[in-house]
Structure 1
Amino acid sequence: MVTVPRLSRAQPLTGFTEALEKHGCVIITDFTDAETVARANQEVKPWLDGQGNEGAKVGALSGNTQTVTRLISRSPTVREQFFADSLYQSLCEQFLTLETTTWYGDEARVGRSDPLLSIAITFAIPPGTPAQGLHRDDKNHHARHTATDRYSKGRDMLLGLFVPGCDTCEANGATRVVPGSHLWGDEKPDFGDQAQTVVDAEMKVGEAFIMLGSLYHGGGEYSKPLGNAAAGEIERRIVYAMFSCSGVHRQEEVSFLSYPIEEVKTYSKVVQDRLGWKQSEPNLGWVDLKSPEFMLST
């Protein structure tokens, strides 16, 4: 039976890189702490409570799931503690940064394109939510895949980070994943005996799950209430999901419309860069022929 590797952040970066290349996913056992997760939960609570019972109906969301969009703005904790986390950002650079040598006459020039935030969103999934079909998230970018038995750099254009707002398990619909499926081609997938090939990415509060965009996965069935909600609280599985994409691909969330410039000026430098306020070399994303970070200092 396949498993999702579980590593402490004390491991060297190469350990995480190797896990992602081999399995397509990894769980960080000590990504954060319960106090930080509780703070994020409090920051998104007003946005969730104000929605009533209506859930989102888009893509793989069937109307049960509530969402909090514009999450980088609405939760400073998600922005600066989860998304800006040094380990996650280092892995984004490992898998998504592009460096290309091109020729201008006799001169070789190296251009570098850093990753971008593609989307940051909260999912709040209630009891009664059916399982999602297993899918790849890089479908949004019309990604094409060739079957291989060995990972090669540049194969993926997305790297996802999932931080649970509560303990997640099979009973409340923890994300189902197919380790190794990031190496498959584009033919109709054969999952075989799913008891052996599909595993629940169960996590405790404080852990996090990272996966490549080419990995087959899907939310599990949350068939009935577990009766574990605190007094006065609504039972639901809360997950903070962030995906980064390579800097030459279109972002799923339009960051320049989602986050006002005066607010972006207050963000950390790494978040500003990942929102697109830094030019992708040599010539993508400029304003007045200049890298746009100059606008953040005016």
Structure 2
Amino acid sequence: MASFLQKARRIAYDSPGLDHTSNPRVKRLSRSDSLSQFIEALEVDDCVIVKDFTDRATLEEANEEVRPWLEKKEDGVKVGALQGKTRTVTGLIGKSATVREEFFADPLYQDLCEHFLALETTHWYGAEPLTTTSHPLLSISITFDIPPGTPAQGLHRDDKNHHARHTQAESYQKGRDILLGLFIPGCDTNTANGATRVVPGSHLWGDDLPNFGKDGTQGVVDAELLMGEALVMLGSLYHGGGSYEKPLGTSEKGARESRIVHAMFSCTGVHRQEEVSFLSYPIEAVKTYSKIVQERLGWKQSEPNLGWVDLKSPEYLLAN
């Protein structure tokens, strides 16, 4: 009998090709749901919404911590999928303690990172087997501040930065992904202000040209989020910011209207991080971070022998 995931794949695809169904959706779960339910949702759809990821007060605190850094940026950046209108704050977890300790270090997100990105292998020293684990690392943390007049991004996969290759599959196999992302909106995001567009199930596609239909919307869903919700997604998901065509009159008089999103991606411990953590976060600052954040920045050796200093795991430097 076919497994649940295999049945889900048959439902999600019209053919062995790249066409997606006309009625995809993103599953919404609560913290009270089990970790296995989140894992299943990601394995089936490549993304899931956490309905109660944080509360409004915590989110507003994060926004306030990030705002001074945004206000230093007069212009947007033009790199990759960002075409000159979007302001950004990079090295985010060093600039917002709330983002760092409440969002990035969140146990649910970290448990999902561990499940999808930790690598465990057994190798041999002579006749003795040795099993070691490489734990995930922070790849990038960034805030996007997207104003009206910003066109939609082209749909893309974020694991392109790691030159990831994909093969067509009927069901998900652990170890297929390099990245796991977390998007926390700083405001309500919806179709009108360009909510992130996602293509549920696209993580099982190969690397051929994807077919989104004649109008580019086949299988595409607007991942609309309320303040306090979060989107978790694998790096193989086709996605892109939506079109934010015109002002909606949602900002206070004289204030900049925009869609703010705090985003983080973690990668496997054996891949290169998108941001260079040892240059982005001064060691004196890292000493004040929680242990899980220190480790995810690379201040712990990836077993058996990656990332050492003088043949020792580098966390000893944080004790000095």
- Note if 1:31 corresponds to 2:53: yes
Aligned equivalents of 2:175, 2:252: Cα separation in 1: 45
Separation (CA, whole Å) in 2 of partners of 1:195 and 1:297: 53
2:205 & 2:269 partners in 1: Cα distance?
Answer: 24
Q: Return the offset for 1:233.
A: 2.1
Tell me the equivalent position of 1:252. 274
Aligned to 1:262: 284
Aligned to 1:197: 219
How many angstroms apart in 2 are the aligned matches of 1:230 and 1:182?
A: 40
Does the CA-based 8 Å contact 2:26-2:223 persist in structure 1?
A: yes
Equivalent position to 1:108, from 114, 118, 129: 129
Is residue 220 of structure 1 aligned with residue 210 of structure 2? no
- Partner of residue 63 from structure 2, selected from 41, 46, 71: 41
How far did 1:146 drift?
Answer: 0.5
Q: What's 1:178 paired with?
A: 199
| Structure-2 separation of matches of 1:231 and 1:15 | 43
Between stretches 190-199 and 262-271, larger displacement belongs to 190-199
Question: Is contact 1:182–1:214 with CA below 8 Å preserved after alignment?
Answer: yes
The offset of 1:111, in angstroms, is 1.3
Give yes or no for the alignment of 1:150 onto 2:174: no
Give the drift of 1:196: 4.3
Q: Which amino acid aligns with 2:136?
A: P
3-state SS in 2 of match to 1:21: helix
2:156 pairs, out of 110, 114, 135, with 135
* Equivalent residues, number: 297
Q: Which residue is equivalent to 2:143? A: 122
Give deviations 1:6-29, integer Å, cap 9, x for gaps. 000110000000000000000000
Q: Assess if the C-alpha contact under 8 Å between 1:111 and 1:282 holds in 2.
A: yes
Instruction: Provide the rounded CA distance (Å) in 1 between the counterparts of 2:127 and 2:252.
Output: 68
1:230 Cα deviation (Å)? 2.2
Q: 1:96 maps to which residue?
A: 117
Query: What secondary structure does 1:170 align onto?
Result: coil
User: Runs of 4+ in structure 1 displaced over 4 angstroms?
Assistant: 193-196
Structure 1 unmatched ranges of 5 or more = none
Query: Cα offset for 1:63?
Result: 0.3
Question: Partners in 1 of 2:136 and 2:148 — Cα distance?
Answer: 35
How far off is 1:195 after superposition?
4.2
Aligned mates of 2:119, 2:210 — CA distance in 1: 29
Q: 1:3, CA displacement in angstroms?
A: 0.3
Q: What is the alpha-carbon distance in structure 2 between the residues aligned to residue 168 and residue 230 of structure 1? A: 17
User: Letter of the aligned partner of 1:109 in structure 2?
Assistant: L
1:284 corresponds to 2:306: yes
Aligned pair 1:161/2:161, yes or no?
A: no
Query: Could you tell me which amino acid in structure 1 is paired with residue 240 of structure 2?
Result: G
Q: Alignment partner for residue 211 of structure 1, among 228, 233, 236?
A: 233
CA distance in 1, matches of 2:194, 2:217: 15
Q: Percent identity?
A: 70
User: Residue 232 of structure 1: CA displacement?
Assistant: 3.7
Is 1:84 aligned to 2:105, yes or no? Answer: yes
> Match of 1:94, as an amino acid?
H
In structure 1, the residue corresponding to 2:192 is in which secondary structure? helix
Amino acid at match of 2:25: T
Find the aligned partners of 1:87 and 1:211 in 2 and give their Cα distance. Answer: 13
2-structure distance, mates of 1:150, 1:182: 10
Cα distance in structure 2, aligned partners of 1:48 and 1:28: 26
Q: Identify the match of residue 264 of structure 2 among 234, 237, 242.
A: 242
1:2 and 1:196 in contact (8 A); partners too? no
CA distance in 2, matches of 1:64, 1:232: 19
Query: Given the alignment of the two structures, is residue 20 of structure 1 paired with residue 27 of structure 2, yes or no?
Result: no
Q: More deviation in 116-125 or 227-236?
A: 227-236
Partner residue of 1:58?
79
1:224 shift after superposition = 0.2
Using the alignment, how far apart are the partners of 1:45 and 1:57 within structure 2?
Answer: 20
Cα root mean square deviation, aligned? 0.8
| Distance in 1 (alpha carbons) for counterparts of 2:176 and 2:91 | 28
Report the Cα distance in structure 1 between the residues aligned to 2:255 and 2:296, rounded to whole angstroms: 34
TM-score by length of 1: 0.98
TM-score, normalized by length of structure 2?
A: 0.92
Paired position in structure 2 for 1:67: 88
